[in-house]
Amino acid sequence: MTRKKIELSQLRSQRWFGAAGQPGNHKSYRTKQMGFTSEDFQGKPVIGILSTWSDLNSCHTHFPQRIEEVKRGIWQAGGFPVVMPTLSVGETYVRPSTLIYRNLLAMDAEEILRSHPIDGAVLLGGCDKTTPGLVMAAASMNIPAIFVPAGAMLRGHWRGQQMLGTGSSTWKALADFRAGKIDEASWRSFGEGTARSPGTCNTMGTASTMTSLVDVLGLTLPGASSIPAVDARHPQMASACGRRIVEMVWEDLRPRELVTRQSFLNAVVADMALSGSTNSLIHLVAMARRLGVELSLDDFAQAGEAVPVLCNLQPSGAFLMEDFYYAGGLLALLKRIESQLDLSCLSVNGRTLGENIAGAEVYNDDVIRPQANPVYAAGGLVVLRGNLAPRGAVLKRAAADPKLLQHTGPAVVFSNFKDLLARIDDPELAVTPDSVLVLQDSGPVGAPGMPEWGMLPIPRKLLEAGVRDMVRISDARMSGTSYGTCVLHVCPESRVGGLLGLVRDGDLITLDTAGRRLDLLVDDAELEARRKVWVAPPPHYERGFGSLHIEHVLQADEGCDLDFLARPGETPDPEARFS
């Protein structure tokens, strides 16, 4: 794609540095105060490097070095790099929920870009919510932007086992520990063996799902999402992104020009072939809305019927992200499903998707399966509807026990997460393998922030009897590394009056995956009587960002963004006349 280059006077930064008189002079000598010379910054695009690094984000420990490599590329291409730290949202440490702070990160990053003399942005993210948060910000701000994915950590090793997945394997070890099959020392050392390098989870969890889908959307250099964090090609990619963003600024290549509804439909198709995280539904919808693109659960439902799972990665398969990269990575997977993609969509490198995957090859047919030998014949994610979820719910079919995909059983209800923790291992809990575990008050408003509680623990007495999966239903999310027959994102949530909040112990619930149904088998008169006496619990927050979140957060089917950020329209740049 050949584009006409813009003039120096058209750069946003020139409104700061090029302003006449005192305003422009003030910016100039203050920049020189930091040790720069006029030659360093005058007449050059200013590139903001938005970093989500912190000492409490273990996935991003290599970002300080990557920043230097991005800077190198920017200098090489004739730009002026400036590092702009943003909110770091790490899954391991942030409470009560990273989803609340995805929206705060998006606000933070958008306003950093708007209020500073930035012409283009390099977005450094990877841990689950940092990727959509940064992309949402760049979409709303709509200046040239390129994403640098953190990359996945190395595969786990422990006592001769060499295919241990962060999260996926540790959930299984936790079940064995709770069942008394391994001691605490073994359980702890096992976990340490699964997380042994910088980078995000090494499974097709939320982190790798979202970086892969941003890759499909064309917002990073093609194939960048598959490179392991510690592979030498990762810093090479970071420098290449630094060089490319300078070119993008001169070409005035912006997110809303690159990313279309067809780009998002490509991402949905890829999501199914990857058997991606259930969180992807929420994030893709939120990102699309920021770009003015309509995307709904129906788009996921249609793709789920037509696209097989070809990616044989945990938690739905056997391998890990390191294996995926060396088998050909994302571009090779896209090559295998190219007939189901719109190949005319553009990428930040100025080429089409078709051009970017033209030479891609698969080097291991077990890691990236051919369509004739899929891991699963249909997409990994299923959208369910019914009286229990009139606006939708999601099930990761590829990670569920096939025997439970058609199931009717009596509910065992937990009114909130504290109630769950207090009673789940009670020997007197009235539960059998046929029961349906139900967790209420765990949605976007209720929890608050829709935490990853949806993989409800199996009661200890059932674990000890050998049970490893049950039907579990909630308005919560679950980690992309999780597995099991877990129905998630029930919408509307119980806290705002959804039917999930009216379920009582013993009520029969039917999960009909083939029919895409989730139904509470209680007659309307009884439900109406329960509705009349139902009272919403008091809000969790009375001030601060938590209060803003509760007041403005949208439901799961709408992306859980804040309503005033998801609406169409642009916030204007600062006025040209400033001191």
Whether 163 has a pLDDT exceeding 70, the answer reads yes
Question: Could you tell me which of 149, 198, 164 has the C-alpha nearest to residue 323?
Answer: 164
Is 15 inside a domain boundary? Answer: yes
The phi-psi region of residue 72 (left if phi > 0; otherwise alpha if psi is between -120 and 50; otherwise beta) is: alpha
- Compute the C-alpha angle 16/21/25, nearest 5°: 55
Is 575 inside a domain boundary? Answer: no
Q: Phi, psi (5° rounding) for residue 136?
A: -60, -40
CATH number, position 434: 3.50.30.80
How would residue 1 be classed by pLDDT, with cut points 50, 70 and 90?
A: low
User: What's the half-sphere exposure (Cβ side, CA atoms, 13 Å) at 523?
Assistant: 2
- pLDDT above 70: percentage of residues in the chain: 98
Q: For residue 433, is the peptide bond before it cis, meaning its omega torsion is within 30 degrees of 0?
A: no
User: What does DSSP say about strands 120-125 and 145-149: parallel, antiparallel, or unpaired?
Assistant: parallel
**Tens of pLDDT along 519-553?**
999 999 999 999 999 998 899 999 999 999 999 99
Residues 335, 457, single domain; the answer is no
Distance CA 336, CA 339 (A): 8
**Tens of pLDDT along 85-122?**
999 999 989 988 999 999 999 999 999 999 999 999 99
Residues 106 and 139 sit within 8 Å (Cβ to Cβ): no
Domain hosting residue 481, numbered range: 381-533
Distance CA 19, CA 574 (A): 13
**Tens of pLDDT along 459-483?**
999 999 999 999 999 999 998 778 8
Residues 404, 342, single domain; the answer is no
Residues 211, 263, single domain; the answer is yes
Whether 195 has a pLDDT exceeding 90, the answer reads no
Residues 420, 335, single domain; the answer is no
Is 203 inside a domain boundary? Answer: yes
Q: E strand or H helix at 464, and its extent? A: helix 460-464
Give the least confident one: 169-183, 275-289, 531-545, 553-567: 169-183
How many residues are recorded in the chain?
Answer: 579
* Residues 6 or more apart whose Cβ sits within 8 Å of residue 181: none
* Residues 6 or more apart whose Cβ sits within 8 Å of residue 34: none
Is 374 inside a domain boundary? Answer: no
Q: Which tokens is 478 given? A: 């679950």
Residues 367 and 388 sit within 8 Å (Cβ to Cβ): no
Distance CA 44, CA 117 (A): 12
Place of tokens 């810093």: 235
Residues 71, 150, single domain; the answer is yes
Question: Could you tell me which of 463, 481, 502 has the C-alpha nearest to residue 314?
Answer: 481
Q: What is the pLDDT of residue 576?
A: 52
Residues 200 and 59 sit within 8 Å (Cβ to Cβ): yes
Last residue of a domain, one of 324, 357, 390: 357
Distance CA 436, CA 472 (A): 6
Displacement of CA 44 from its chain's centroid (Å):
34
How would residue 579 be classed by pLDDT, with cut points 50, 70 and 90?
A: very low
Is 364 inside a domain boundary? Answer: no
Is 543 inside a domain boundary? Answer: no
Residues 241, 313, single domain; the answer is yes
Give the least confident one: 78-92, 110-124, 163-177, 214-228: 163-177
Residues 146, 258, single domain; the answer is yes
Residues 293, 235, single domain; the answer is yes
Distance CA 375, CA 177 (A): 29
Residues 122 and 137 sit within 8 Å (Cβ to Cβ): no
Q: What is the pLDDT of residue 265?
A: 98
* Residues 6 or more apart whose Cβ sits within 8 Å of residue 7: none
Give the least confident one: 191-205, 242-256, 405-419: 191-205
Helix 329-336 × helix 206-217 angle, to 10°: 70
Is 339 inside a domain boundary? Answer: yes
Whether 577 has a pLDDT exceeding 70, the answer reads no
**Tens of pLDDT along 114-158?**
999 999 999 999 999 999 999 999 999 999 999 999 999 998 878
Whether 335 has a pLDDT exceeding 70, the answer reads yes
Residues 353, 386, single domain; the answer is no
CATH number, position 239: 3.40.50.2300
Q: What is the pLDDT of residue 503?
A: 98
Residues 353, 457, single domain; the answer is no
* Residues 6 or more apart whose Cβ sits within 8 Å of residue 56: 88, 90, 92, 93
Distance CA 515, CA 232 (A): 47
Count of domains for the chain: 2
Distance CA 456, CA 421 (A): 10
Residues 338, 412, single domain; the answer is no
Is 93 inside a domain boundary? Answer: yes
Question: What's the 3-state SS for 42-79?
Answer: CCCCEEEEEECCCCCCHHHCCHHHHHHHHHHHHHHCCC
Sign of CA dihedral 160, 161, 164, 170: negative
Residues 299, 402, single domain; the answer is no
Mean pLDDT (the chain) is 94
How would residue 517 be classed by pLDDT, with cut points 50, 70 and 90?
A: very high
- Classify 369 as helix, strand or coil: coil
Question: Could you tell me which of 96, 209, 37, 94 has the C-alpha nearest to residue 441?
Answer: 96
Residues 222 and 349 sit within 8 Å (Cβ to Cβ): yes
* Residues 6 or more apart whose Cβ sits within 8 Å of residue 405: 397, 485, 511, 513, 514
